């Protein structure tokens, strides 16, 4: 007698033009979310004038966004597992579009903060959904490359924000710029509703029992129990935050005040970080797709290179030479692609019905580290009279913590992956035809 597995029709191999179309709709949503997320980065001075706030209050915008984003990761992962990608992405588009529009029309600092929190909530729903979408529509062997390309669209969103939003602010002013850019949310919502599907026909995930709080606790506990999930979170934690902190808030003050560069030159160095991110992301994706064992060496190598260049820059007496600052920015560009490796540790450790929850746990790592470092640098700058050497040295503390955890979990995760691979091959051999 044949087993139910044998009697069932095998799922079609994912991929093809339909997969590219559906996934393209998903990453276009992520692109717009990143444009909205980073639009404040080019509008800091305008925001300070509009709301009459000082630098500390202005930095609250960025910290609040990260706080909301990080805090939403596990809830969003659970929502993706329970409701599916399309519903979560649709909700995300509505929320971040309303947040961007509300930011355009806010008459006060408090309302603007609320608008950015709403935007951060919607933004938090995009990346995990896009990862889940890619995992369902493309073969597993393409997972690393798909994750890196998705992140590349985020980098492109950062560039659009830097170039387009900045010019719109100069020409159109605050309200027209932010209200006009909010229309991009409507533009991506239409194809999302018309064309996006959670998975190919015949590739439905096994239904999970959604029993309220018990389901939530079980999803989180089972995802966390996997060493691969925890390893992915610590990889994301350790690799992402130096570049995030540099680009989001403290890079420009460091280059202008501590290194005595002009704003134009500092802006070019920040752009170099973004361009390096795009190139390294494609390279890392190709390497990991072909050599799965390269994941941990690439992540740890990126951390080591970042720490070495960071230390060399801080230790240099007086103003660091331009070649050293440029090299630092190129290496910082590798931090984003290295953080994507974290998802590739969590993916094989969890079944499809837990992918969203596991991705949420991983994604929370880097943003938690970024929030911690943003606050630590600010506090240390105030306490030391703007001594950037001491303040920026806080980066090494979090890197040391993360590397310790990566080394602790690495061997155990590799052993479990080998056992799963052997078991899957044995099962494939014994399935009756």
- C-alpha distances out from residue 295 to 276, 354, 375, 413, Å: 19, 22, 30, 12
Residue 78 contacts residue 355 (beta carbons within 8 Å):
no
pLDDT value at position 58?
73
Residue 125 contacts residue 73 (beta carbons within 8 Å):
no
Instruction: Supply φ then ψ for residue 205, to 5 degrees.
Output: -75, 155
Residue range 163-187, pLDDT digits in tens: 788 788 878 888 999 999 999 999 9
**Cβ count within 10 A of residue 115:** 21
Residue 205 has pLDDT above 60, yes or no: no
Rounded Cα distance between 310 and 316, Å, is 10
Residue range 291-346, pLDDT digits in tens: 888 999 999 999 999 999 999 999 998 899 999 999 999 999 999 999 999 988 98
> At 102, is the pLDDT very low, low, confident or very high (cuts 50, 70, 90)?
very high
DSSP per position, 147-202:
HHHHHHHHHHHHHHIIIIIHHHHHHH-HHHHHHHHHHHHHHHHHHHHHH--SS-TT
SS3 label, residue 205: coil
Residue range 346-381, pLDDT digits in tens: 888 888 778 888 888 998 899 889 888 988 888 888
Residue 121 has pLDDT above 80, yes or no: yes
Residue-level length of the chain: 433
CB burial class (10 A; 0-12, 13-18, 19+) of residue 56?
A: exposed
Using left for φ > 0, alpha for ψ between -120 and 50, and beta otherwise, residue 260 falls in: left
Long-range CB pairs of 320-327 (<8 Å, 24+ gap) are 320/259, 325/255, 325/259, 325/261, 325/269, 326/269, 326/272
């Amino acid at each position: 007698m044949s087993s139910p597995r044998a009697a069932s029709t095998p799922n079609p191999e994912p991929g093809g033009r339909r997969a590219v179309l559906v996934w393209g709709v998903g990453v276009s949503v992520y692109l717009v979310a990143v444009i909205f997320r980073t639009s404040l980065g080019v509008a800091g001075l305008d925001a300070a004038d509009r709301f009459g706030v000082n630098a500390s209050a202005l930095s609250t915008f960025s910290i609040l966004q990260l706080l909301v984003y990080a805090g939403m990761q596990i809830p969003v992962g659970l929502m993706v597992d329970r409701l599916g990608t399309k519903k979560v992405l649709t909700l995300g588009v509505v929320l971040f579009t309303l947040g961007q529009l509300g930011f355009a029309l806010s008459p006060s600092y408090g309302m603007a903060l609320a608008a950015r929190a709403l935007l951060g909530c919607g933004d938090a729903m995009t990346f995990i959904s896009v990862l889940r979408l890619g995992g369902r529509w493309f073969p597993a062997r393409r997972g690393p490359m798909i994750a890196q390309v998705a992140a590349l669209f985020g980098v492109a969103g950062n560039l659009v924000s830097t170039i387009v939003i900045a010019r719109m602010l100069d020409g159109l002013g605050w309200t027209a710029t932010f209200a006009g850019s909010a229309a991009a949310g409507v533009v991506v919502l239409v194809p999302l509703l018309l064309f996006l599907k959670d998975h190919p026909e015949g590739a439905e995930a096994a239904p999970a029992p959604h029993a309220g709080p018990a389901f939530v606790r079980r999803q989180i506990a089972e995802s966390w129990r996997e060493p691969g999930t925890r390893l992915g979170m610590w990889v994301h934690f350790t690799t992402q935050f130096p570049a995030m902190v540099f680009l989001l808030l403290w890079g420009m003050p460091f280059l202008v005040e501590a290194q005595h560069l002009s704003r134009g030159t500092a802006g070019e160095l920040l752009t170099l970080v973004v361009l390096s991110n795009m190139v390294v992301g494609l390279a890392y994706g190709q390497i990991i797709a072909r050599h799965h064992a390269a994941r941990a060496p690439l992540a740890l190598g990126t951390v080591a290179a970042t720490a070495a260049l960071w230390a060399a820059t801080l230790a240099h007496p007086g103003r660091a030479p331009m070649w050293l600052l440029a090299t630092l920015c190129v290496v910082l560009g590798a931090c984003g692609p290295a953080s994507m490796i974290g998802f590739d540790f969590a993916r094989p450790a969890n079944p499809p019905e837990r992918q969203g929850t596991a991705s949420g746990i991983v994604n929370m790592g880097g943003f938690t580290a970024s929030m911690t470092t943003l606050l630590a640098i600010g506090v240390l700058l105030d306490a030391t009279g703007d001594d950037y050497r001491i303040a920026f040295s806080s980066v090494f503390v979090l890197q040391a913590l993360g590397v310790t955890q990566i080394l602790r979990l690495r061997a155990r995760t590799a052993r479990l992956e080998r056992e799963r691979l052997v078991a899957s091959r044995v099962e494939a051999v014994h399935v009756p035809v």
